[in-house]
Amino acid sequence: MLKRFSVSLEEHLLDQFDDYITIHGYSNRSEAIRDLIRKKLVNEQWQQDSEVVGVVTLVYDHHQAQLQERITDLQHSYYRLITSTTHVHMDHHNCLEVTIVKGNAFTVQELAEKMIALRGVKSGNLTMSSTGDDLH
Residue 4 lies in a domain: no
Do 53 and 43 lie in one domain? The reply is no
**Maximum distance among all Cα pairs of the chain, rounded to whole angstroms:** 59
What pLDDT score was predicted for residue 42? Answer: 85
Query: Can you say which residues are annotated as belonging to the binding site for Ni(2+)?
Result: 76, 87, 89, 95
Q: Say if strands 121-130 and 51-61 run parallel, antiparallel, or are unpaired.
A: antiparallel
DSSP state for residue 115 in the 8-state scheme: H
What pLDDT score was predicted for residue 131? Answer: 78
DSSP for 51-68, please give it: EEEEEEEEEEETTSTTHH
| Whole-angstrom distance, CA of residue 108 vs CA of residue 126 | 9
Query: Can you say which residues are annotated as belonging to the binding site?
Result: 76, 87, 89, 95
What pLDDT score was predicted for residue 43? Answer: 85
What pLDDT score was predicted for residue 135? Answer: 64
Do 62 and 83 lie in one domain? The reply is yes
Do 24 and 78 lie in one domain? The reply is no
| Whole-angstrom distance, CA of residue 10 vs CA of residue 33 | 16
- CATH code of 55's domain: 3.30.70.1150
What pLDDT score was predicted for residue 136? Answer: 59
pTM score, two decimals? 0.80
The residues of the chain scoring below 50 in pLDDT are none
Residue 136 lies in a domain: no
Q: Tell me the residue range of the domain where 16 lies.
A: 11-47
